[in-house]
Each structure stands twice: as structure tokens, then as C-alpha cells.
Homo-oligomer: A and B are copies of this chain.
Amino acid sequence: MAIKERLAELGLALPPPMRIAGQRFETVRIVGNRAIIAGHLPFGTDGELFGPLGKVGAEVSPDEAYQSARQVALVMISSLEAAGIDLDRIEWTKAFGMVNAAPGFNALPGVINGFSDLLLEVFGDKGRHSRSAIGVAELPFGVPVELEAEVALLPA
């Protein structure tokens, strides 16, 4: 099944591709058969920041942060498509997950699972990726979670 059909089947709507005002970097940088994906934040289908802001384990619950991580995956998929990449010709390879962690909150993998679960639901085996999950001191705009990632571009 094509990825776009799979997204529809799961009832998942893609938000707009990430585009931050005054952005000095490429959202997706293609080099050879790799697409290197910039750090993505949780944006909603309305293009606004999605979900609560703040530190996970304080202002933001782990469940809310899990949902935000799912949303980051959807924004990335949208950014890949906007970069002209055929979603049916990619394999996910790597993700780096950063949680805006309140002091003492170390259930970081559970938050980043939101991102990983969505990729596995949508892409199946092609969604399987290496990963780290860490707690950082601050994230842009106070978002609870940010991820960067990389995909391999498959020959047509």
C-alpha cells in the first residue's frame, strides 16, 4: 500500500511542512541517497505549535509529550514530501530524540516512542530506525520534544 493511502487508512492528516520564520537552514538536505532532516518541532495541521509547551514531567505530562512526538513524525513526513521526496521510496535509518526534561524526569524513551511508533505504524519495516533519546535543558519555543532524523532514498 502506498504511504499516502496508509496515512489515510490510519486517519492521520499531515500538517504543513516545517517552515520557521527567518529560518537559516534547510528543512531537508538531500546528499547522495541520504536525506538529512533538520530538527523538527511539533506543529499541528493548522501550522501552529501543537500541544502544551513546557518541561516534560512538570508542565507537560509524559502522555502529552508522547502525542507531541507522534506529531513531530507527521511534520517530518510532510517536510519530506515538500522536498520532492517520494514517500514510497524511503527507508528510515536514524532518529535523535530530545526531550525538554524537568529535573528528575528520565522516562525519555517512553516519550520518543511516540515518534517511533508512528513511523512503524505507517512505514512498517521501512520505518525501522536506530535511535537515541535524551533529556536536554531547553528547546526552541519551549516545545516538549524535538527530533532530527535521516532517511535513505531507495532507487526507483
Interface residues of A (CB under 8 A from B): 20, 23-29, 31-33, 36-39, 91, 93-96, 98-99, 101, 103-109, 113, 116-117, 120, 128-142, 146, 148, 152
In the complex, chain B residues whose CB is within 8 Å of the CB of A39: 131-134
Given contacts A31-B91, A135-B137, 8 further A-B contacts (CB under 8 A): A24-B117, A25-B95, A98-B134, A106-B141, A106-B142, A108-B139, A134-B136, A135-B138
In the complex, chain B residues whose CB is within 8 Å of the CB of A93: 29, 31, 36
Query: Distance in Å from the Cβ of A121 to the closest Cβ of chain B?
Result: 11
CA distance A31 to B38 in the complex (A): 20
In the complex, chain B residues whose CB is within 8 Å of the CB of A25: 95, 116, 128-131
